[in-house]
Chains A and B, each alone.
Chain A
């Protein structure tokens, strides 16, 4: 049965969009490749920014200015202002539906300082902020009676063309992981909320294994444009061996970064791009890097950072109450994504985007901690309402025949790929060369070498394929398609990074370390024409 609004992805952004589309009167269907509470949002620890001034004096203007500064000229001030103004409304709404925020002694929502913020602005729930927000949203979605279809993996968006030969989105083809069958869902509008692409860095990423940019790759294939794909945030403090995130709130609370000599070497509360580079430089000098929170004391650590203590013990065999925590910077958040307008609509009519997969131009070249949970609530509402509004006026016909057939051909055909090359090896290889050459510090030679390798891998894909040929619950097949999506995005990231001959925020070119506003204070826009990648800088 057709829905008014089809939402792909059931993380925070997708669920907020679903609730708002539902409240706008639309019939909503959510599709997720996992289950709704298993998304990346569950891993957000630090908090959600809003200038409430509960912990000390703060203002919306300060929030705007901090965000713009960190964005290095690539954020849109109007969008940032809208987000920061809506922030208290967003937190108030989360509080009203039951999110268990930590509280101050005078019964207000507690706030703490994250990097790049001039005041304690991040509202939090211990270090389980994302988890508690996500689960409360899920409970809300249940209360609304919204349909959720789990374990369906997005293949492509369905597009039709109108009488002027202009395309519009009207559904999606998905692989039902449980049955192995292709399913097609018709919808008047579609919202993509599938998350970022940090897993390209494979084991050098804090992200969940499903963060493979599926929705972004499908969007550019369907005719949407992407922007600023070269901007990838490295979180300064992940556990050294496992890349498990240690929240920025550990530094916000007074944690120190130390090198092997036990010396501090940077301002721990600078924005993430600066801190990550400072650590990277120390590592290049042969230093090991540690996070030291021992002086915060056991009581504080157990109260504010319980998850960090548990994870450090499990993965590094260290107890942060008594020991230094070995850390390194790894890929954490992708600022780039699907280009959207002021209503969260993409260049493809009827396709809306929100959350990490979208680029609302609020993070620019470097996101501030605490702004990603905020973004998904503020723009999730906007996307949900816009998509519902669009659906109300939608009168066009929907024909899914062609795309259903092509999806079926693909799923049948992919199992006949020859399997002479192991894609898991290539996935690991890409993670390594991206981390080393397209990571915290880049240069033209390295980026071009990686692009050469990626183009080679693109040619080799028909010689890869799933080893597992079974129909039911074939995760090997899903991982292979995810791999294909990542390879598609790899090329785009590299083309953007090579074109941007300057350093800005998270994009640091060791060969050109200066910002160049004259030439590059613009967005890197990419799109496809007849499957050929095109790129340009645009305002």
Chain B
């Protein structure tokens, strides 16, 4: 099987492996053919988030993707490449800090099964960064808090134990929920089945309840609301 890997230039490798994951194939190349090939990996079971790359333009986890003849493997986009398929995740991770994606207070409120289901999927996030690579907004606005950070904010905002919802919502107004175009690119590539787009929509509803509105609409009003009545 032949595959192409985007290194400093596109390099082709031929490997005698059938029905293998991309990670198994990368390991085969590194240990048998070319020790300089550089990529990240960890658990092999899609929970550590280390091995996200793009195959034929789409973000996948190398350990969770069955490699096909002729595949083109590239590093994630919207992020600086350290070497070959390894990118610098620091910047994306910093958005968790900026978005204050944590529980504000300690609390032992008894959660029901229904409470727990509310953010069951969101708390499966593995920070692989696929969503930042696929996000067209982040591609043009590097201050955009971005998909996984906003999902992680929703994970806490939706949690009955969180006592500081209002402050959490305040934090994500600028370069946050209203910047998203709801294009669903993040949802399509998430290996954990999380839809940051849907989480952002839910955060928008919460924001609206708190009195925030989409700043891009506010600019149109010129003092008048959409129903034509003057707004004060």
Please give 20 more A-B residue pairs, beta carbons under 8 A apart, in addition to A98-B156, A467-B35: A34-B50, A35-B89, A35-B127, A43-B45, A92-B108, A98-B162, A100-B119, A101-B116, A108-B110, A128-B124, A142-B96, A178-B82, A208-B42, A208-B43, A244-B45, A424-B31, A424-B32, A472-B83, A475-B39, A476-B35
Q: Which residues of A contact B156 (CB under 8 A)?
A: 98, 139
Say whether B112 contacts A103, CB under 8 Å.
yes
Q: Which residues of B contact A187 (CB under 8 A)?
A: none
Residue of B nearest to A102 (CB): B116
Say whether A307 contacts B42, CB under 8 Å.
no
A43–B63 alpha-carbon span in the complex (Å): 14
Say whether B36 contacts A103, CB under 8 Å.
no
A35 to chain B, nearest CB (A): 6
Main secondary structure of the interface of B (DSSP, over half): loop
The answer to whether the Cβ of A519 comes within 8 Å of any Cβ in the partner chain is no
The one of B36, B102, B103, B111 that contacts A468, using a Cβ cutoff of 8 Å: B36
The answer to whether the Cβ of B86 comes within 8 Å of any Cβ in the partner chain is yes
Say whether A245 contacts B101, CB under 8 Å.
no
Say whether B112 contacts A98, CB under 8 Å.
no
Say whether B35 contacts A37, CB under 8 Å.
no
Residue of A nearest to B19 (CB): A317
The answer to whether the Cβ of B46 comes within 8 Å of any Cβ in the partner chain is yes
Interface string of B99-137 (1 = CB under 8 A from A): 011111011101111011001100111110000000000
The answer to whether the Cβ of A532 comes within 8 Å of any Cβ in the partner chain is no
Say whether B116 contacts A476, CB under 8 Å.
no
Task: Give the size range of B's interface with the partner.
Answer: 35 or more
Would A95 and B35 be within 8 Å (CB), given that A34-B42, A244-B45 are in contact? no
Q: Which residues of A contact B36 (CB under 8 A)?
A: 467-468, 470, 476
B172 to chain A, nearest CB (A): 15
A314–B64 alpha-carbon span in the complex (Å): 7
The one of A125, A135, A142 that contacts B125, using a Cβ cutoff of 8 Å: A135
Query: Of B97, B123, B159, which is in contact with the most chain A CB atoms at under 10 Å from its CB?
Result: B123
Say whether A139 contacts B127, CB under 8 Å.
no
Say whether B106 contacts A96, CB under 8 Å.
yes
The answer to whether the Cβ of A259 comes within 8 Å of any Cβ in the partner chain is no
A15–B106 alpha-carbon span in the complex (Å): 17
A307–B47 alpha-carbon span in the complex (Å): 9
The answer to whether the Cβ of A534 comes within 8 Å of any Cβ in the partner chain is no
The answer to whether the Cβ of A150 comes within 8 Å of any Cβ in the partner chain is yes
8 closest A-B pairs by CB: A98-B103, A139-B102, A467-B35, A424-B31, A473-B83, A143-B102, A96-B106, A107-B110
Say whether A314 contacts B21, CB under 8 Å.
yes
The answer to whether the Cβ of A357 comes within 8 Å of any Cβ in the partner chain is no
Would A37 and B43 be within 8 Å (CB), given that A96-B106, A100-B120, A476-B35 are in contact? no
Q: Which residues of A contact B48 (CB under 8 A)?
A: 34, 37-39, 42-43, 208
Q: Which of B154-213 contact A (CB under 8 A)?
A: 155-156, 159, 161-162
Q: Which of B6-57 contact A (CB under 8 A)?
A: 19, 21, 30-32, 35-36, 38-50
The answer to whether the Cβ of A466 comes within 8 Å of any Cβ in the partner chain is yes
Would A466 and B35 be within 8 Å (CB), given that A100-B116, A208-B43, A473-B86 are in contact? yes
The answer to whether the Cβ of A132 comes within 8 Å of any Cβ in the partner chain is yes
A470–B42 alpha-carbon span in the complex (Å): 22
Q: Which residues of B contact A95 (CB under 8 A)?
A: 108
The one of A92, A93, A100, A467 that contacts B123, using a Cβ cutoff of 8 Å: A100
Say whether B38 contacts A139, CB under 8 Å.
no
A307–B120 alpha-carbon span in the complex (Å): 13
A139–B157 alpha-carbon span in the complex (Å): 14
The answer to whether the Cβ of B227 comes within 8 Å of any Cβ in the partner chain is no
B224 to chain A, nearest CB (A): 42
The answer to whether the Cβ of B90 comes within 8 Å of any Cβ in the partner chain is yes
The one of A97, A244, A310, A473 that contacts B103, using a Cβ cutoff of 8 Å: A97
The answer to whether the Cβ of A57 comes within 8 Å of any Cβ in the partner chain is no
A100–B156 alpha-carbon span in the complex (Å): 10
Say whether A43 contacts B127, CB under 8 Å.
no
Q: Which of A462-498 contact B (CB under 8 A)?
A: 466-468, 470, 472-476
Would A97 and B106 be within 8 Å (CB), given that A42-B126, A139-B152, A142-B97 are in contact? yes
Residue of B nearest to A473 (CB): B83
Would A96 and B116 be within 8 Å (CB), given that A37-B48, A472-B83 are in contact? no
The one of B21, B43, B93, B101 that contacts A42, using a Cβ cutoff of 8 Å: B43
A528 to chain B, nearest CB (A): 30
The one of B21, B35, B100, B116 that contacts A103, using a Cβ cutoff of 8 Å: B116
A97–B105 alpha-carbon span in the complex (Å): 7
B162 to chain A, nearest CB (A): 8
Residue of A nearest to B110 (CB): A107
Q: Which residues of A contact B42 (CB under 8 A)?
A: 34, 38-39, 42, 208-210
A102–B102 alpha-carbon span in the complex (Å): 19
Q: Which residues of B contact A522 (CB under 8 A)?
A: none
Q: Which residues of A contact B113 (CB under 8 A)?
A: 103-105, 107
A108–B159 alpha-carbon span in the complex (Å): 15
Say whether A37 contacts B152, CB under 8 Å.
no
B187 to chain A, nearest CB (A): 18
Q: Which residues of B contact A468 (CB under 8 A)?
A: 35-36
